[in-house]
Amino acid sequence: MASAAHAMETKKTGTQGLATLGVALLLAVAGYSALFVAPTEATMGLIQRIFYFHVPFGWSAFVAFFISFLCSIGYLRSRAPKWDWLAVSSAEVGVPFVTVLLITGPIWAHPVWGIWWTWDARLTSTFVLWVLYVCYLLLRTLIDEPERRAVVSAVFGIFAAFDVPLVYFSIWFFRTQHPQPVIGAGGSLDPRMRDVLLLCWAATLGLLALLLRQRYRLEALRYEVECLRLESDRRGPGPQGFATVSNPGRSG
Amino acid sequence: MALGRPIGILLAKELRTEFRTRELLVSTLVFVLIVLVLFSFTFDPTTAESRRFGPGLLWLALLFAGSLMLHPSFTREQSNDTLVALRLAPIEPVSIVAAKILANFCFLLVAELVLLPVFAALYNLRLLPVLGRLVAVLVLGTLALSIVGTVFAAISSQARMRELLLPLLLLPLLTPALVASVEATAGLFEDRPALPAVWVGVLAAFDTIFLTVTWLFGEYLLEE
């Protein structure tokens, strides 16, 4: 029994290692193609290559938040903790992805637009999106009881998800300066550029999946520890005089 | 089950509790007044400047007030565990949330109607020609603030640092409502006042969407 579990764990670690290696390779190939394979853009020059990281990280972040939204609904409907784990994992992976988006954007904008930041629809709504999900993660740290935390943050996650299109729409009416979407909206993009862009997107999606899986397993373990701790708190001091396990990091 | 009667009874209860002390109403009024006075130092409050900045500062003051004042609507119930009693009643749980939304809407609207003439006097804005349309914008904007504010008050009341958490959760989410309310109000203070249909539409959409989301998911917040 123990050896079977051990073998399974070894196999899991093996798959995990392979997946990590695969994603690392994919990222390397994507990075190489973005820097050397894709043609240099005619007016912006080399700085335009940041687009191959900027756009895929943005798309992948939206995928992550959409997963988080679906899982929040899934949690409220089913009450299975795994939905909550996936919801928080994807939000927590989505936030650094949007951070990459918000950092690479100004790096590109400074030489091209001459300014680091402008209060345009896409920029502002991405910023609000980032703030919303940072608040979601903050909210989770402020509720100790696992089930309460799951329910409350699921409701907040759903509100945040419905807010995002409204934010975008209202600021779009307000003012816009960002370049229009290059795929699917009638924009013209060199086929080689498009291929590299899609390759980069595949790489960031791979990264997303990898981080999501790790974070999900961490959340599952954390949940287990929390349940054990709550149980031991309820039971009080044990027969051998063991003190209740306290949690210094989360007092108050 | 019918929602109307329980909501009516609960709303009466909320209003009675508030009007015994009037603490929410009075503190909202004083807070907005303070903010309006403080804002006058940040720019030159001539008529032309006031027209440009007035709508924005009015709505920002109201939003800040809401994010601070809506917080007791659930914590008030916690001190005596009265929320448990409400939940024991044979009514749809969502009617508890709905009554609180309506109550907060009434408090904020009363405060706004008192503040409006003061605001107009302080910043030299002409209210009378556009009063009806302005009230319509106030109703839609305040509804947005009270829907999301009440739901998030329920959320933050279950967390630590609740007083700080409510503005953090509420203000970014209200961005679209703020933009729409400010733009709609600004349209009314132009030389030829007109109510911009787009912004009224955005506000109405905001209210409808979040009322629906609250109706679908709000009751989960009342569980123990």
Angstrom distance (rounded) from CA A93 to CA A70: 15
The answer to whether B111 and B118 have CB atoms below 8 angstroms apart is: no
Angstrom distance (rounded) from CA B44 to CA B48: 9
Please give the residue that has the higher pLDDT: either A39 or A204: A204
Question: Which among B180, B109, B174, B105 is positioned nearest to B146, based on CA atoms?
Answer: B105
pLDDT for residue A155 is more than 80: yes
pTM > 0.90: no
Q: What is the pLDDT of residue A252?
A: 36
| Cβ–Cβ below 8 Å for B159 and A139 | yes
| Angle B162-B166-B172 from CA coordinates, rounded to 5° | 150
Angstrom distance (rounded) from CA B47 to CA A221: 62
| Cβ–Cβ below 8 Å for B202 and A162 | no
Angstrom distance (rounded) from CA A224 to CA A205: 28
**pLDDT tier at A4 (50, 70, 90 boundaries)?**
low
Q: Which residue of A has its CA nearest to B178?
A: A170
Q: What is the pLDDT of residue B147?
A: 95
Overall average pLDDT of the B173-180 stretch: 92
Range name among A112-126, A138-152, A225-239, B20-34 with the lowest pLDDT average: A225-239
**Other C-beta atoms lying within 10 Å of the C-beta of residue A251:** 7
pLDDT for residue A241 is more than 50: no
| Cβ–Cβ below 8 Å for B175 and A163 | yes
Overall average pLDDT of the B161-177 stretch: 91
Overall average pLDDT of the A56-83 stretch: 94
> Is the ipTM, as predicted for this complex, more than 0.85?
yes
Strands annotated E in chain A: none
Angstrom distance (rounded) from CA A57 to CA A102: 10
Mean pLDDT, chain B, rounded, equals 88
Place of tokens 């609000």: A128
Tens of pLDDT, residue by residue over B118-129, are 888 888 888 888
Range name among A80-94, A147-161, A197-211, B183-197 with the lowest pLDDT average: B183-197
Please give the residue that has the higher pLDDT: either B81 or A99: A99
CA distances in angstroms from B98 to B64, B92, B94, listed in the order given: 22, 10, 6
Please give the residue that has the higher pLDDT: either A200 or A112: A200
| Cβ–Cβ below 8 Å for B168 and A143 | no
pLDDT for residue A108 is more than 70: yes
Q: What is the pLDDT of residue B140?
A: 95
Overall average pLDDT of the B11-24 stretch: 87
Q: Which residue of A has its CA nearest to B216?
A: A155
Nearest-10 crossing angle of helices A81-113, A191-235: 140
CA distances in angstroms from A146 to A142, A207, A228, B180, listed in the order given: 11, 28, 12, 37
Chain centroid to Cα B102, Å, comes to 10
pLDDT for residue A249 is more than 50: no
The answer to whether A69 and A158 have CB atoms below 8 angstroms apart is: yes
Nearest to A132 among B160, B161, B173 (CB): B173
Contact list in A for residue B172 (CB cut-off 8 A) is 128, 131-132, 135
Overall average pLDDT of the A81-90 stretch: 95
Question: Which among B10, B29, B129 is positioned nearest to B77, based on CA atoms?
Answer: B10
Name A189's bridge partners: none
Chain centroid to Cα B162, Å, comes to 18
Please give the residue that has the higher pLDDT: either A62 or B40: A62
pLDDT for residue A103 is more than 80: yes
Structure tokens at A128: 């609000």
Tens of pLDDT, residue by residue over B126-153, are 888 888 999 999 999 999 999 999 999 9
Tens of pLDDT, residue by residue over A187-221, are 567 788 888 889 999 999 999 999 999 999 999 99
Helix and strand numbers (H, E) in chain A are 6, 0
Q: What is the pLDDT of residue B206?
A: 94
| Cβ–Cβ below 8 Å for B168 and A135 | yes
Nearest to B175 among A152, A162, A167 (CB): A167
Place of tokens 């997946």: A19
pLDDT for residue A135 is more than 50: yes
Q: What is the pLDDT of residue A45?
A: 80
Overall average pLDDT of the A158-171 stretch: 88
Nearest to B223 among A151, A160, A167 (CB): A151
pLDDT for residue A250 is more than 50: no
The answer to whether B28 and B111 have CB atoms below 8 angstroms apart is: yes
Question: Which among A189, A7, A215, A230 is positioned nearest to A96, based on CA atoms?
Answer: A215
pLDDT for residue A175 is more than 60: yes
Q: What is the pLDDT of residue A180?
A: 60
The answer to whether A241 and A252 have CB atoms below 8 angstroms apart is: no
pLDDT for residue B169 is more than 60: yes
Tens of pLDDT, residue by residue over B57-100, are 899 999 999 888 888 888 888 888 888 888 888 888 889 999 99
Nearest to B173 among A148, A159, A174 (CB): A159
Strands annotated E in chain B: none
**Helix (H, G, I), strand (E, B), or coil: what is residue B45?**
coil
Contact list in A for residue B219 (CB cut-off 8 A) is none
pLDDT for residue A8 is more than 80: no
Q: What is the pLDDT of residue A114?
A: 85
